[in-house]
Amino acid sequence: MTEHKNTELKIGDAAPDFTLLTDGDGRITLSDLRGQKVVLYFYPKDDTPGCTKEACAFKDNLSALQSLNAAVIGISKCSVAKHDKFKAKYDLNFPLASDENGDVCERYDTWVEKSMYGRQYMGIDRSTFLIDENGKIAQIWRKVKVDGHIDEVKNALEALAKAA
């Protein structure tokens, strides 16, 4: 893990490109998705209560998001094997990308110092990035609260569609 801290991403910035391995022996490259919107969400860990609830909300709303020309990608530092189990257990219908070395988390400023019960540790800040058809960041949500988040994402996608 590098110790450098890049400037935090802002709306209007180019979304940092990446290629990551995904569940099902797949591979995904962000720039290959140009021409459609991308909901890129970072989550701490497969098969934990909050992460499961968030993944299932995206699963249950995927057709609505796709009707707004959006793809969904979940990213965590979990292994591809863990992603395969998580995806099968909850019948998830979108790719889960593995950022085991944390490079993409670093570039999106989601690898942060956290605190629980007075203990400091490094972890993924639950964050979502809405990327437009041209690869620019259209919306950023940090420290996401799972309840109601899917509605915020849908509203932002609808606003983006109206603005086009």
- Alpha-carbon gap, residue 149 to 140, rounded angstroms: 12
To the query of whether residue 56 is one of the catalytic residues in this protein, the response is no
Q: Along the 164 residues of the chain, how does pLDDT read in single tens digits?
A: 334 445 689 999 999 999 999 999 999 999 999 999 999 999 999 999 999 999 999 999 999 999 999 999 999 999 999 999 999 999 999 999 999 999 999 999 999 888 888 889 898 999 999 999 999 999 999 999 999 999 999 999 999 988 87
Domains of the chain by start residue, with CATH: 19-159 (3.40.30.10)
| pTM of the predicted structure, to 2 decimals | 0.93
In sequence order, which residues have a C-beta less than 8 Å from that of residue 134 and are 6 or more positions away? 34
Task: Spot the catalytic one: 51, 56, 78, 105.
Answer: 51
- Alpha-carbon gap, residue 70 to 62, rounded angstroms: 9
**DSSP code of residue 151:** H
Instruction: Report the pLDDT value the prediction gives residue 109, as an integer from 0 to 100.
Output: 94
Instruction: Please state the separation of Cα 48 from the chain's center in Å.
Output: 16
Biggest alpha carbon–alpha carbon distance for the chain = 46
Residue 141 CB: number of other CB atoms within 10 A? 16
- Alpha-carbon gap, residue 2 to 99, rounded angstroms: 14
- Alpha-carbon gap, residue 27 to 98, rounded angstroms: 9
Element (H, E) at 24: none
**DSSP code of residue 32:** G
- Alpha-carbon gap, residue 18 to 101, rounded angstroms: 13
Burial of 116 (0-12, 13-18, 19+ CB in 10 A): exposed
* Sign of the alpha-carbon torsion through 130, 17, 121, 77: positive
| Amino acid letter, residue 147 | D
